[in-house]
Structure 1
């Protein structure tokens, strides 16, 4: 096979993705592509997102058709220099072997997620092995481990990665009627301990950032570093319209405009994403759990727990990372820690780790070297 020919394939985001819809090409045959350039839009059953080119080169063929569904790693295009013949490219396309969509499914279903019984509930998690210092990724209020779809693989190249659903979130249960930051933080410690992780790079989004900070303050030896993404706990301001709207929404019409507040590009909120969140919110006790957790975290229009002064006293590398168009927690909070490494990314909102995944991943990796 000609090693100068590079395939452009359907990406795999997260543990459960099997296929995606190629919704739009942003490049055409004959274009020269740079690494990191947006080349297409893909929609999965979780989210719609732009796809950045992992390789540079001349786009000789666009094979994937807009609107069609393709399995992960399906051939969508071909990069090759001008002097590679059309015959060689045709031979490459004809001989390309797309991985079987059902290969390893049974094993994957058994090993992709694990469960741990804790005092806070049964916790769903996934632990990717690797070489280096581990990363622990903690999602925010109402979120789940799929909030890290676009970050797990890149971080896993530099170390093991642990992701989990906090109690009462995702597919984790809650054994109590009232969730607190202390209880949520201890559940993270329990999962880390069960996987023999005693110290890690803690990465938290929104409420998950507050949990990371709480862990660093209460368990001084647990963190190599903190990466706080659109983090709670660094200022009093919070868009409680989003919080109350998320808790109270009972149908698609009510929930969709609330979820759109999470993104700079509201088109990223797909029907499937709304349906997934609705399915979660209709689980037994979830409304009560979110309502009590909201009351624990927020009072009227303000956050109850602000820990920026305490974090500033730590001799610990801290990264604050925000989307400039965050409509939930103001991006100005990124500068609330005087010693932090600050990144504010334009054209991204509260879910900056999804909307600007490459930039977020690069910042975390540079921070944790």
Structure 2
């Protein structure tokens, strides 16, 4: 029996429903090795590459560069040397019939929801099966819950997961005034109690690390573990230039230059990411909250 392997539009993150083919890195007829980079896809959140799931020959490109297609769509076909064109045509036709019928399609996308708290709302994105324990992802200064789109998608395959926008970020209400950290922590604690009343495991980056550490200090019996990535409060130095430049950037080009400092590969930054960050920064009260 001939080997025929589908190359599909993957699902990166819990909210992704479609992607745009920006570049094929190989041509029809090329020999392909397992794990080789095949094509680049751009979403509203990220640009990333799709790797080959099998070795063989790229016999047919189905989605051309510039095409936008839903998650699960057939982008190309890898076969061994014995596969006939008739077999490939039948595979492509049968794959079109299956599109959207699996959990990888658009129906599998989830959406954030606003949880009322004492000082407004906290925006949360839940994924995975509800259970007695949950993994909670807390982003850093200037970020939002999409920081964790790859991590949450992977962890939610086995566990209940929650990513949230910290107050003053994303879809969460800003908090201003005195005793700021304590009030931000209280808002996050209230939101988490509403969606995950059991034991929680906190995974946090930068400013989110300070929030996570405060939650653990307030509720040691509730926090099962802390995973802190470059957290504020445990080191003697931080990039003050990044903070001031991020707050001060009011146009696309300066903001992109600031965001590039966060990426090992700045080419992964999409125009939608920059525009989305600008829209967030222009919301009423957000610059003051930052």
Q: Partner of 1:254: helix, strand, or coil?
A: helix
Matches within 5 A, 1:80-229: 80-97=79-96, 98-99=99-100, 112-130=111-129, 133-177=133-177, 180-229=180-229
Q: Which runs of 5+ in 1 are unaligned?
A: 291-369
SS at match of 2:150: coil
Structure 1 pair 221–78 and aligned structure 2 pair: CA distance change class (3 A): farther
Going from structure 1 to structure 2, the CA distance change for 1:115 and 1:131 (only over 3 Å counts) comes to closer
Residue 46 of structure 2 is aligned to residue 47 of structure 1: yes
Aligned-pair distance for 1:280?
A: 0.5
What SS class does the counterpart of residue 253 from structure 2 fall into?
helix
Cα distance, 1:32 vs structure 2:
3.1
Mapped to 2, the partners of 1:284 and 1:32 lie a distance apart of: 51
Once the two structures are superposed, the pairs formed by residues 1-369 of structure 1 within 5 Å of their partners are 4-28=3-27, 29-35=29-35, 37-53=36-52, 55-58=53-56, 59-97=58-96, 98-99=99-100, 112-130=111-129, 133-177=133-177, 180-290=180-290
Task: Figure out how many residues of one structure are paired with residues of the other and give that number.
Answer: 282
SS at match of 1:150: helix
TM-score using structure 2 length: 0.86
More off after superposition, 76-85 vs 266-275: 76-85
TM-score, structure 1 normalization: 0.69
Asked if 1 retains the 8 angstrom alpha-carbon contact of 2:136 and 2:163, the reply is yes
Match of 1:362? none
4+ residue stretches of structure 1 with deviation over 4 A? Answer: none
Query: Closer, same or farther in 2 for the Cα pair 1:11/1:115, shift >3 Å?
Result: same
CA RMSD of aligned residues (A): 2.7
Q: For 2:154 and 2:263, locate their aligned partners in 1 and report how far apart those are by CA, in whole Å.
A: 22
Q: CA deviation at 1:12?
A: 2.3
Residues 182/83 of structure 1: CA separation in 2 closer, same or farther (3 Å cut):
farther
* 1:324-361 CA distance string (max 9 Å, x none): xxxxxxxxxxxxxxxxxxxxxxxxxxxxxxxxxxxxxx
**Does the Cα contact within 8 Å between 1:130 and 1:159 map onto a contact in 2?**
yes
SS in structure 2 of the partner of residue 79 of structure 1: strand
Tell me the CA shift for residue 149 of structure 1: 1.7
Q: Which ranges in structure 2 are unaligned for 5 or more consecutive residues?
A: none
Matched residue of 1:96: which SS?
helix
8 Å contact 1:9–1:73 — kept in the other structure?
Answer: yes
What is the deviation of 1:116? 1.3
Q: Is the CA contact (8 Å cut-off) linking 1:120 and 1:167 kept in structure 2?
A: no
